[in-house]
Structure 1
Amino acid sequence: MREHAPAARHGSPEEPTASDAAAIPVITDPVGVMLDVLNLDSGAARTTEDIFTGVSQPMPTGRIFGGQVLAQAIIAADRTTDDDRVPHSMHGYFLRPGDASTGLTLAVDRIHDGRSFSTRRTQAYQHGVPIFSMISSFEREDPGLEHQTPAPEGVLSPEEALERSGASRLHPLSRRLLDDSPIEVVHADGAIYDRVPGAHVPRQDVWMRTRRGIGDDPALHRAVLAYMSDLTIQESVLRAHGVAWSQPGLKVASLDHAMWWHRRARVDEWLLYAQESPSARGGRGLATGRIFTREGELIATVAQEIMVRVPDADGSGVSAG
């Protein structure tokens, strides 16, 4: 279970406070930091496993960002497959909160190599225990049937959304989290950091891209797409109930994450992330997302289930849904 650090959560005795923001070192090149994090070291190979080590991206909350581990796990698994095979799906579980102050070890099991597909199991460890477990599948790309669902219509462009957004009221820690992110995020429907604008509906559209170019390596672009896929997807659950990230006592934790890569794309160009939540009940909310290029090409589909706790008026924890 990977606990979120909401972008606009206000401080409490066990949460980061405004004063924490001033103590966070300024990151002048967040994209460079992300690329360093994704540059894994190879260790000595074991009989049944390939071992990799990586550093963690600094986070003011002290918790590892889940997208970081997703991307690192895909890179580790990818390095154990033939060059003609690319990831087409992954299914992972967040088992424990990760510690952003220390690195992690990734162990890859080569489960199967067939004529067209390869299957890998990747476990991420910290302090001797697994924090994330993933099964991923890689394929040799061959021609075949092709179709896709169309991109949503009537969505504001990123330029239009930026112009309409104006200056948002943000907790200082929230502002640092956003400014230090390697990913530029623009909500076409208005962000829900401090309040939930408009209708309370279980869907939203978000534009994303890296803050600068990252080169031409397709494997790196696929991994960064996995990194980006964990950003904002939880918000379709919160938006449906009018819950902003700044709501005191809000607790959100990712339980699992699945992703399917359909087509190649550059993550340093604007991508549209169309997100919706089909269900929330019993303290759990399901969120799905489809990622399109600006030209409307579907490049990936994502699904994630979260645990969400929203306190009621008397301060006791209740579940949304």
Structure 2
Amino acid sequence: MTVHPTVWVDETRPAAAPRRGTLRRMLARNAPGYLFLAPWLIGFFGLTLGPALVSLYLSFTNYDLLRAPDWVGAANYVRIATDDPKFAAAMRVTFIYVVLSVPLKLVFALAVAMAFNRGIRGLTVYRAIFYLPSLLGGSVAIAVLWRQLFASDGLVNMLLWKAFGIEGPSWVSNPDYSLYTLVVLSIWQFGSPMIIFLAGLRQIPTDMYEAAEIDGAGKVRQFFKITLPLLTPVVFFNAVIQTIEAFKAFTPAFIISEGTGGPINSTLFYTLYLYQEAFGFFRMGYAAALAWILLVIIALFTAFSFLSARYWVHYDD
């Protein structure tokens, strides 16, 4: 009988590095994958990460596109925090817009999605029609149309006069109402969250509603005890996405106010103010600082949303 000696392997020793030939073979084997990834890698490093890093550098400089950037340190950020009243006005307008438009849009989208979920004839046609404003709402043409609708001699005032005998104001040029016309425009673009809500409603088992009806629960109780808790992941997703989009809103305010943010800064969105600083006054360094502050605000909101989600978002597990 042959006895084979026992070979002990020292597992604490680090594994030998792969040879150069092995690395070459691995690269050759994965070359098609890297080739397909090349457009995304070029776009990410050339159009996203690279410009973002350049923007971060420019935020610490005084740059006007004509001369070389002049390093000023944190002077741009200090000026934003201590000596820029338009920054405070833009923040106020933007936060009012976000607080009003996002919840109202989600409520309206959920209501329409629940109506569609009951099963109506021609659902696909209605779904496409209601989704259309989400595709067109951010366009220049819709913003121009919206400005005409809410002008002093627009369709809205004509309807108010003929139906109720009320002579309405010029909604887009009155600082008391101009921002709310943009909120209404945002609510009108409820198609995207509506489709997502409808998909979430289709995932709720119908037997849960049948059991609730047997127990005597009405429609309102079913909504708050079954529909809304099971729909919280979808509500969370829509709330985060729509809030980020609301912070980035630009085209409606730019077109309706003709790029001024007026009247009296009532529609001076943060992105519009950033645009004015960059392409109106050519203060690119200052605009870059404003852009990074907006990024931090959105990141803080997103982080807070994810931290708070554990207390109100309910998953199947």
TM class by shorter-chain length?
under 0.3
Q: TM-score, normalised by structure 1?
A: 0.21
Higher relative CO (Cα under 8 Å, sequence separation at least 6) belongs to: 2
Q: TM-score, normalised by structure 2?
A: 0.21
More helix by share: 2
